[in-house]
Structures are given as C-alpha cells and as structure tokens.
Amino acid sequence: MDFKEKYNKWINLNIIDESIKAELLAIKNEKEIEDRFYKDLEFGTGGLRGIIGAGSNRLNIYTVGKATEGLARYLVNQYKDNISVTIAYDSRNMSPEFSECAALVLCAHNIKVNLFQSLRPTPELSFAVRELKSSAGIVLTASHNPKEYNGYKVYGNDGCQITDEAANAIISEINKVDYTDIRKITREEAINRGLLNIIGENIDRKYIDILKSYVIRKFLVEKHAKDLKIVYTPIHGTGLMPIKRILTELGYENLHIVKEQEIPDGNFPTAPYPNPEDPKVFELALKLAEEVNSDIIFGTDPDADRIGAVVRDSKGEYQILNGNQIGVLLTHYILDSYKSEGKLPCNGAIIKTIVTTEMVRGICKDYNVELFDVLTGFKYIGETIGDFEKTNSNEFVFGFEESYGCLFGNHARDKDAVVTAEMICEMTLYYKSIGLSLYEGLINLCEKYGYYKENLISIELKGKEGQEKINNCLDYLRKSQISEINESKVERIFDYKLSEERNIIKNETSILTLPKSNVLKYLLSDGSWFVIRPSGTEPKMKIYVAVIGKDLEESELKLKEFEKTVMSKINGILK
C-alpha cells in the first residue's frame, strides 16, 4: 500500500476522529502527506518515537493504540494470566492522553495496569516495574527531542528497556494489528473491574529512600552538605520533584532552582531543544549561578534520565562538562571512595558503550575492576547487569554512556539522573573538602590517564530520502575501506552488522559477540577512533570521533583535525 492509499484509508476509516481527518484534509503539500504515510511509525528495539500528529508515521492515539494492542497480545502469549503493566509519563505534550490510551487498551485484555497519578521520571518507572513485580512497563517520553516529538518506551519485567529478542516478538504482534482491531475499554470500566490502579506517593517514598541509602561518604554529607551551593534546572521536565526532594532530605540546604525552567511544560519555552548536551539550556542557570556563587550547576532532560553539569575551573570560570567527563569523574570517585571505605568488590564491573570514552580503561585497571563494552543504548547496559545477576560473575558498580546517561545502584535498569545528581553533589562536596573544584579534579585525572577528547557530529537527514542516504553511506563504507586518517593507519574495523572484527595489520577476521547493529567503528594506530551509525530515535546519522593527546591543547588540535578529515570523507559519500 503506497502513501496515498494509506492517506485515503485514514480519511475514510470510521474509527478515526473527525478532528484528525480535518488535520489531514487541510494538508495541501503532497511531500508532507508522503512523510506522514510513506511508512508506519517504526517500533524499534525500545519502542516508538516520532512527531506528534495525524498519520501512520506520526505519534497519535491510533499508533499508540496499535503498538499497545500488539504488546498486549505478546504479554498474553508470554504470561497467560496475572499480567500487570506499570505506566509513567513525562511533561511532553499528549503524554497524559497517550498513557491513558495505552492503559485502557491493556485493560481491555484483562491486564492490570499501575498508572502513575502524574508525571514521573523514566528511572522511577524502571524502579516501579521491579518493585511492583510487573510483567512490563511503558513510559511516554521523547527524552531530549524537540517539543514536536513524543515517544513510547517498553520495559521488560526486569525494569530494563526491551532488547532485541523481546522487541522482535512484540513487533511481530504489532504487524498483525489493523487499526480496526484495537480493543479498548473506558476508564470507568477499568476502575470498576479492578484493572486500573493509580499509584504515586508510596512508590515515590521507596524510590527516594533507596537512592538516599547509596551515599558513600556518609559523614561528609551529613556534616557538610549544607555548605555546597547548587543551581539546578529541570528544563521544564519531571526532575524537579524527585531531585529537590532527595537533595533536601540529604541536607543540601543551598539548592537554587532556575525559576524560569521550573514548571513542567511540553512546549519548552526557554529551551526549544531540551537537551543537557546543548550548552544553551544552561544560559539561565549560569546567570543564577553567578548571583549565588554556586559550586555546581546541573540540568536534567524532560524525563530526568540524562544529566549535564557545569563546574568552576581554577580561575573561577564556569566550564561545561560533557557526558564522557561526567562519567570519568564519577567512575573514579565511586571506585576511589569504595576503596577508601573498604567496600570495593573483588569482582566489580564498570559498563560503558562502544562510543564512550576510553579514558576509564586506565582507571578500571588501577582499581582492578573489569570494564565491559556494549552497543550504543542504555538498554544494553541494563541487560548486562541482568546477566551479571544470572551468572553471579560480576558485581555491577557503575554504568554510563557518552550521551549523558549514568546509573549507580541496583534499583533500576535504566539511566537515572536523580541518583546521578545525588552522586555529583557528593563528589563535588568531596573535592571541595580537599580544596579542589570538580574541574581541577578532572584535570588531575587527565594528567594521570591522558587527555582524551571526543565529539559527536549529527547530520540531519529527514524523510524517506534521508533514511536511504544513511543506509547507502554505511553500505558504501562496508564495500570500500578507509585505510588512513591524518597519517595514522586504521588497525581494526568493527562491523557490528556483520558481527566481524577485521584486524587490518594481521589480515585476520574474528567474530563479534555483541548483538547485530548497523554500526561501524574504526580504531587507528595512535589510539584515535571514530564510529558511524544511524540514530535510533531521530532522522540523523551520528559520527563519533575521539583522540588522545599529551595535554589539553594538543588533544583539542588533534580532535579538530581528525574530525575535519573524517567528515570530509563522510560528506563526500553523502553527496
């Protein structure tokens, strides 16, 4: 069925609301109609994410209903009875409506639903799935995407985003569903039948309490938390309630919230791109920080699973940390604190993704902790934690990815900006107690382990043509071979789609054990590397570049030149 046939089907379906039909009939641009209907919004390995609006390639109550109908059928096949699903949502536009739609479809299949009474962060959903022993979880969020987007993430009974096997089984069920097949009951009927349970404070209290128990240097926090000056922005998202609550209860009295970004708002009026990776979101926070002379600034994305931080350098000027730097600082602080407290496990493990900094490798070696690499996506970190528990092989200590996601503790299986905010405050307090800023602590680590420098370049390629360009670029690279970048030889190529590692120097090929994914990684003789992959959530191709230098100046210069050469090759293929 081509896009015009799909468009006409929606116009003529009795179940489609008249307001949706009116939206579609008002479109006069055929390219716009094609973009809305050239495909069904894809249910990837984590769920749905797309622009809110009418059409099969948009997020609306029909595409949410279809995905949930397929999920319900999967759960019934998997568990037969006594099935329950926990649902949360963030501050995005339409999140409450989509969450209720999903709940009522599930209830129509006699599946019990625990629905949060108001917006909650994604990591609390992961915690709640585990705490309530749910069969699955759903959170309505588009994470850090622009305001036009929303999303639908699915979690397994372990609180981890579903990975490939479960996702493929759910996709198989969704593909069998026509919009006319979607079953749904009313909210009143769901409550009367005891299928819809509204949850809130009881889970909040348990979540906050377990996070508070993770404090490592308890004496330091108890005695000196009040001395730390903090500026925090929730960027119009869900982080305000849990982060303010936990820090206040731990004794951080000097907590200053950015008022202009305090209230949840799906239009993100002060931050069109509500992403803590974007320095622009900290403009208001920096202004407040100057007024109160803060030691640390941090901000969380709309569903409070990612966190960015800004710290003072030795000159007293504020410096924005990237996700790799936050992860390196926390890795070292946690391992060093555990060692000093006599709590470092003999089989401890740090987990990172393949596009995350290599700087932690030396840190892990010094503390005799094993480092594990997984595919991009925090679900693979969560999955690996589960594997540790099943095999009793390693004890999870900390996991992070370059895209500002971290997890400390065993309460959840997804990145958690709430617990990370707690740990950043404790870490900043520790460095302050020894006369250093967090930035000075980072420089000390660079002096010991090397000046690693990384960057991410995103190329937006929208629509059907854009997706084809991305796939064609990766296919071209597989058939050709980049042998050298700036006089450094390519030593190894990791092709995660073909599950092959090619050692160019030895002319050998070995098998990669990670799941298949359309990703290429090139490792060069001087320790630099780059990765190319399509985004799993946006119409973008992502290129990660990384170098190592003997000092900050050299690493910055090397990165600039390395990035320029890599991008010239990529842009040449895309033309």
Q: Is the dihedral of CA 60, 62, 68, 74 positive or negative?
A: negative
Torsion from C-alpha of 49, 51, 54, 56, nearest 10 degrees: -40
User: For the segment 114-131, what is each residue's pLDDT rounded down to a tens digit?
Assistant: 999 999 999 999 999 999
Give the number of other CB atoms < 10 A from CB of residue 118: 12
User: For the segment 264-281, what is each residue's pLDDT rounded down to a tens digit?
Assistant: 999 999 998 999 999 999
Residue 117 Rama label (left phi>0; alpha psi -120 to 50; beta):
alpha
The verdict on 440 and 394 lying in the same domain is: yes
CA distance 397 to 395: 6
CA distance 225 to 212: 13
CA distance 424 to 428: 6
The verdict on 403 and 383 lying in the same domain is: yes
56-73 burial: b if 16+ Cβ within 10 Å, else e: bbbbbbbbbbbbbbbbbb
- Please check the confidence at residue 428 and state whether its pLDDT lies above 70: yes
pLDDT band at 226 (very low <50, low <70, confident <90, very high): very high
AA identity, residue 520: L
3-state secondary structure (DSSP) of residue 395 = strand
The verdict on 424 and 504 lying in the same domain is: no
Please give the DSSP secondary-structure letter assigned to residue 227.
G
The verdict on 159 and 283 lying in the same domain is: no
Q: Which of 133, 139, 128 is nearest to 68 (CA)?
A: 139
On whether residue 18 sits in a domain, the answer given is: no
Please give the pLDDT value at position 45.
Answer: 64
Last residue of a domain, one of 172, 199, 226: 199
3-state secondary structure (DSSP) of residue 519 = coil
The verdict on 277 and 415 lying in the same domain is: yes
Share of the chain above pLDDT 90, in %: 92
Q: Which of 506, 552, 544 is nearest to 528 (CA)?
A: 544
- Please check the confidence at residue 337 and state whether its pLDDT lies above 90: yes
Please give the DSSP secondary-structure letter assigned to residue 22.
H
The verdict on 476 and 338 lying in the same domain is: no
The verdict on 178 and 235 lying in the same domain is: no
pLDDT band at 248 (very low <50, low <70, confident <90, very high): very high
3-state secondary structure (DSSP) of residue 234 = coil
Beta bridge partners of 531: 521, 544
Q: Which of 127, 88, 104 is nearest to 214 (CA)?
A: 127
The verdict on 412 and 471 lying in the same domain is: no
On whether residue 17 sits in a domain, the answer given is: no
The verdict on 175 and 219 lying in the same domain is: no
On whether residue 8 sits in a domain, the answer given is: no
Q: How many domains does the chain have?
A: 3
- The single residue listed with the structure tokens 């020894």 is 434
| pTM, full prediction | 0.94
CA distance 573 to 459: 13
Question: Mean pLDDT over residues 368-383, rounded?
Answer: 96
Question: Mean pLDDT over residues 136-154, rounded?
Answer: 95
Average pLDDT of the chain to the nearest whole number? 95
Copy the structure tokens of residue 536.
């799993």
CA distance 441 to 124: 31
CATH of the domain at 183: 3.40.120.10
CATH of the domain at 469: 3.30.310.50
Last residue of a domain, one of 174, 199, 224: 199
Q: What is the CA radius of gyration of the chain?
A: 24
525, 565 Cβ separation under 8 angstroms = no
Please give the DSSP secondary-structure letter assigned to residue 281.
G
Question: Mean pLDDT over residues 387-414, rounded?
Answer: 97
Q: Which of 187, 153, 191, 159 is nearest to 68 (CA)?
A: 153
Angstrom distances, CA of residue 370 to CA of 242, 367, 513: 32, 9, 17
The verdict on 221 and 332 lying in the same domain is: yes
Please give the pLDDT value at position 329.
Answer: 98
Strand pairing class (230-233; 296-300): parallel
241, 91 Cβ separation under 8 angstroms = no
Please list the active-site residues.
Answer: 143
Q: In 15-161, where do the E strands start and end? A: 47-51, 84-89, 112-116, 136-140, 149-155
pLDDT band at 71 (very low <50, low <70, confident <90, very high): very high
Please give the pLDDT value at position 130.
Answer: 98
- Please check the confidence at residue 107 and state whether its pLDDT lies above 90: yes
Share of the chain above pLDDT 70, in %: 99
Last residue of a domain, one of 449, 481, 508: 449
Copy the structure tokens of residue 324.
């790799």
The verdict on 183 and 212 lying in the same domain is: no
On whether residue 443 sits in a domain, the answer given is: yes
User: For the segment 41-67, what is each residue's pLDDT rounded down to a tens digit?
Assistant: 988 766 899 999 999 999 999 999 999
On whether residue 23 sits in a domain, the answer given is: no
- Please check the confidence at residue 465 and state whether its pLDDT lies above 90: no
pLDDT band at 536 (very low <50, low <70, confident <90, very high): confident
Copy the structure tokens of residue 513.
């054990």
CA distance 56 to 39: 7
On whether residue 34 sits in a domain, the answer given is: no
On whether residue 124 sits in a domain, the answer given is: yes
Domain span at residue 408 reads 207-449
Give the number of other CB atoms < 10 A from CB of residue 450: 18
First to last CA, the chain: 30
CA distance 143 to 275: 8
The verdict on 466 and 548 lying in the same domain is: yes
Which residues 6+ apart lie within 8 Å of 520 measured at CB?
Answer: 474, 477, 478, 493, 494, 495, 496, 497, 531, 532, 533
On whether residue 33 sits in a domain, the answer given is: no
The answer to which of 168-172, 206-210, 399-403, 479-483 has the lowest mean pLDDT is: 479-483
CA distance 442 to 479: 41
Please give the pLDDT value at position 314.
Answer: 87
3-state secondary structure (DSSP) of residue 47 = strand
